[in-house]
Amino acid sequence: MSLKDEIQRAQNLLAEAFGARDASRAAALYSDDACLMADGMPTFHGRDAIGGFFGGAIEQGIVAARFTTQEVDGDDEQALEIGRYELFASLPNGERTCVDDGRYFVAWRKV
Q: Is the pTM of this model over 0.85?
A: yes
Q: What is the mean pLDDT of the chain?
A: 95
User: Model confidence over 3-51: pLDDT tens digits?
Assistant: 999 999 999 999 999 999 999 999 999 999 999 999 999 999 999 999 9
Mean pLDDT, residues 81-92: 96
Show Cβ contacts of residue 25 under 8 Å, excluding neighbours closer than 6 positions.
17
59 in Cβ contact with 89 (< 8 Å)? no
Would you say residue 76 has pLDDT above 90? Answer: no
The Cα–Cα gap between 36 and 50 comes to 7
Phi, psi of 108 (to 5 degrees): -100, 145
